[in-house]
Every structure is written in structure tokens, then in C-alpha cells.
Amino acid sequence: MLKVTKQLFVYFFMIKKLLGLLTWIVAFNTSALELKTIDEIHSAYKNNKITAQQLTQGYIKRINQLNPQFNAVINIEPTAVTQAKKIDELSAQGLWAGPLHGIPVLLKDNIETTGSLPTTAGSLALKNNITNNDAFVVKQLRNAGAIILGKTNLSEWANFRSSYSSSGWSAVGGQTHNAHDTTRNPCGSSSGSAVAIALNFAPVALGTETDGSITCPASVNGVYAIKPSMGQVSRSGVVPLSSSQDSVGPMAHSLKDARLVLSVIQGRDTLDTSTHSFQLQALPDAKKSSLVIGALPSDKFTVETQRLYQNQLSALQQAGHKVINIDITDDLTTLFVDEYYVLLYDFKKEINHYLVNTAAQVKVKSLSALIDFNKQNKAAEMPHFGQDILIQANAIDLTQTDKYQKTKHRYRTLATAAITNLYKNNNVDVVIAPTTSPAWKTDLVNGDNFKGSSSSLSAIAGTTHITLPVGQVSGLPVGLSIIANKNQPQGAYQHAQIIDAVFISPIKKPE
């Protein structure tokens, strides 16, 4: 009888311990899911509700559970938990690592990191591209106390391989799926970063944009994002597409977080001569008197997006802002032909320079070799679409520097003037437009089906472009774009905050 009682006690103790563990796991998972913003995470740290190690392990568990359905993350950083433990050691000593203390961050897989992870740009040609180098932005993140959590999927070569393609597809990572509907496209090329934030795989992710690759995926996956001004954030340690337009920018669950991350990663870098010193000032309270908002036309977007836009404009008017309809009056006939030439020229020159300087284990050392590699590995690299853009880039004559410089001057001057004139001629505080239409069905036969974009003027002029997740069409997110005037990014952040406050207040986000 005593033996039986003892066994029952042991069983009871084991069951109680197991139930306690299960209760902790459920409670942890619930709290981890509820922690989305940097302020929420920092508050939880300071109140001893969670540790950086627990949070990081929670994100890794969530990625392992959900990522097979979405293909948003290519690799988890092997040292992520170790990084988190070091943060917890600092916390135990009453120390704070910086503004991103213990904040896990995902990086688009064209951003280099130290350690064992390759930087692939989605291509099998770079599957062994272990650079063991932190890009400038990664150094900035680490210095601010962030935890590098892993690498996200992307459109291969930042969607600059084929004129027909499916955004979010890469040979390394497969097809990324939209966070709100797996049959729909995530947009590109920073697709994995946007989907990862929407699914709460991390509180923060970095993407890159040449023209729309941050703002479009953020829009169709319903997250906040900033494409910074040219020269604000370094591109060193990032696989290049075009130094004329490439930007690195943040995605997050709030505008405040995106802006905080941008304030961390910005700064002068001797390895990127375009960069300059830039200080983001503290934003005032969003309760500003009426803005004069210039609303660009929405006719190039879907009919449902146009209706949503009108509802958003009405909400802004009801909140006390003056909304006026404006339009671009500059002749943009040559703009996109010029842009394509500049991108082709830049890509050939810069990807050749990047590839020739990769480590010995990377065998593809030039654009010509990359084209040959893709042909030799057609089944894996080109099962759906070809590489006509790579071929066109390779045919560019790099000795035609005069043509290149004149084209670049013409297209940048035109884009800058178009934005400047929108502000000057209409006397507005801020210019807005839909970012893009809702996500389309992923089509690996015909390719992408874009319906409107507001990214190009900002991308070419090098001005700030912010997208806010403030509306939906049939349950699918549609972002609202804030297009900054030249040399006025500070005003854009302030105005974006004011506009965002209209939609995150008790006023329901329009649909």
C-alpha cells in the first residue's frame, strides 16, 4: 500500500510539473504573440515578464511552425539564442544595450552578416557566399542592442532577372506567400521581410528597395515601412542592384518602430560615399491643426482601391484636414525608359564588382558567368521564368559614360522636379496616394499582375517614401503612401504620424 501511494505521489508530482510547464508554454506563446512593438517588448523586459532568450526562442518556434506555409524566412541565425543570452546578462546587471535592446531583427537575404550564414540574393550561384562580414546597417543594429534573428526570402536578384517573374520567388527560398492569403502574391522584392512582420516572426525586419521593393510588399501584407532618402542609410555590405536608387529600410508593426530603427541604421559610412550625417529630430505630438493634404489620382489602381482611397480621404476630412486633388503636370515620357537604362548600366558594373570580390568558394565571378550558371542549372534556377534582364544588362556598353551620366541627370532632375512641383504648385503640406492595389493571385505561368504603384518618383528622386497600413479591400491590405518633398524627410515623418493617428484612433480603418 505504501509502495502504491509513493508511486501515485510520484505520478501526481510529474503530472503537476508537466501541467505547470504546459501552462508556462501557453502563457509564453500568448504573451509572445501579444508583444509586437518595441515599447511592449521593452516594458516586458523591465517588468521581468519575459527574457530576451525566451522571446527569441518563441520567435524561432513560431517561424518553425508557420514558415513552411509561407516561405518568408530562408535561414535562422545559429547564434540568435546566444545573442539573446548576452542581452539577458546585461539586463541582470542593470545595463541597457541601446535603443534596440533585445529586439530580434530579420534581414533580407541580400544583406551580409558575420558568421556561418550565406548572403544569397536568392540565387544558388551565391549559396556558398559566406562573407563573414556585417553590412554597415547590421553593425548599427548590433551596436544598438538588436538580436540578428535570421535571413528572409526575396525575389531573386531583387526582382531584376526576368521581365516576367513572380515576386517573392527565389531558387534558394522558393515562392513566398502573402501573409493574408497564401494563394496571393507578397509583392517584391523584400517579400519575406514584409510577410515575416505581418506574421509576427519578429518585431522588426530590414528590406531593400530600388523601386517599390520595400513599399509594395509592406502595402500588400499590411505593415509599416519606410524607404529612406538617398544617402541616409548605407548600402555597403548589401548585394547591389543600382547605386543610383538602392535603399535599405525598416518594416515594423508601428510607424514609431520603423522610424526608431531608421534612426539606428542611418549615418555616414566611408564605404558608401553617398551617405551623409543625418539626425532625425524628436516628433511632436500628433495632435496638430489641420494639414493641407494633396491627394494624387487613383485611376491607375483597381476600382475597389479607388473606393477605399475615397473613404480614406473622407476620413481625413472628417478629422479636420483639408484634402485637395492634385496631379503631376510634368512630362514624364522619358522617365521610365531612362530609369531602365540606368538600372541596367548600374547592375552590370556593380554586380561584376561584387561577384569578383566574393570568397573563393563562390565560383560565379561575373555577370556573364552568372548567366551561364543559370543556363547550366535551368531546372533549379529557371523553372518558371528566364533571365532576359540579366542578358540585357550584360549587353550594356560600360564605356558609354557620357550617355549614362546625361541619362542619369535627366531622369533624376525630372523626377525631383515632378515631386517639388506637386508641393510648390499646390501649396500642400504632404502628398499622398495609394501605395499599390491589393495582392494579386500568384501566377507562375504569366507572372506578376501589378495594378498601380506610387514608388517610382520617390525611388528615382531619392526622397523618403512611407507606407501606412490603414485600409483593406476584401480583407486584403492596401497601404497609403506618404511621398516626401525633396530634402524634407523630417516633415514626412511628422505628417505620416498625423495621418496614421486618424486611422489608428477609434475611427475604423476604411474598407
What confidence tens digit (pLDDT) does each residue in 138-164 have? 999 999 999 999 999 999 999 999 999
Mean pLDDT of 118-131: 98
C-alpha cell at 280: 532625425
pLDDT tens-digit series, residues 394-413: 999 999 999 999 999 999 99
Q: Which of 294, 284, 270, 214 is nearest to 246 (CA)?
A: 214
pLDDT-derived band of residue 506, with 50, 70 and 90 as boundaries?
very low
- Give the DSSP H or E segment for 2: helix 2-34
**Cell numbers standing for residue 155:** 525575389
Give the model's confidence band at 277: pLDDT under 50 very low, under 70 low, under 90 confident, else very high: confident
CA distance readout (Å), 390 to 214, 341, 370, 407, 479: 22, 13, 9, 20, 31
Q: What is the pLDDT of residues 287-307, one digit of tens each?
A: 557 999 999 999 999 999 999
Place 187 in a pLDDT band, splitting at 50, 70 and 90: very high
Count CB-CB contacts under 10 A for residue 203. Answer: 26
Burial of residue 21, with CB atoms counted within 10 A of its CB: 0-12 exposed, 13-18 middle, 19 or more buried: exposed
Long-range residue pairs from 331-334, CB within 8 A, at least 24 positions apart, any chain = 332/414, 332/418, 334/410, 334/411, 334/414
Residues 6+ apart with CB under 8 A from 308: 434, 471, 472, 473, 478, 510, 511
Confidence bin at 14 (pLDDT 50/70/90): very low
Beta-carbon contacts of residue 259 (< 8 Å; ≥ 6 apart):
226, 280, 283, 493
Q: What is the CA radius of gyration of the chain?
A: 24
Lowest mean pLDDT among 51-55, 209-213, 306-310, 486-490: 486-490
- Alpha carbon distance 99, 262 (integer Å): 11
pLDDT tens figures, 38-60: 999 999 999 999 999 999 999 99
47 CB contacts (<8 Å, ≥6 apart)?
none
pLDDT of residue 285 exceeding 80: no
What's the rounded Cα separation, in Å, for the pair 121 and 111? 8
Tell me the torsion sign for CA atoms 101, 106, 108, 113. positive
Average pLDDT over the chain reads 92
- Whether the per-residue pLDDT at 182 is higher than 50: the answer is yes
pTM reported for the whole predicted model:
0.93
Is the per-residue pLDDT at 13 higher than 60?
A: no
Mean pLDDT of 5-28: 43
Model pLDDT for residues 85-98, shown as the tens digit of each residue: 999 999 999 999 99
Any idea what DSSP says for residue 176?
-
pLDDT digits (tens, 9 = 90+) for 301-326: 999 999 999 999 999 999 999 999 99
User: Is pLDDT above 50 for 23?
Assistant: no
Residue partners of 182: CB distance under 8 A and separation at least 6: 69, 70
pLDDT of residue 278: 74
Return the ∠ at Cα 436 (arms to 432 and 439), rounded to 5°: 150
Provide φ and ψ at 474, rounded to 5°: 50, 45
**Cα angle 206-210-213, degrees, rounded to a multiple of 5:** 55
Give me the pLDDT at residue 117, please: 98
pLDDT grade, residue 488 (50/70/90)? confident
For the chain, percent of residues with pLDDT exceeding 70: 90
Separation between Cα atoms, residue 228 and residue 464, nearest integer Å: 5
Point out the residues that are catalytic.
108, 189, 213
pLDDT at site 16: 42
pLDDT at position 68 is 98
Percent of the chain with pLDDT over 90: 88
Would you say residue 254 has pLDDT above 70?
yes
The CB-side HSE value for 339 (13 A sphere, CA atoms) comes to 21
Q: What is the pLDDT of residue 490?
A: 85
11, pLDDT greater than 80: no
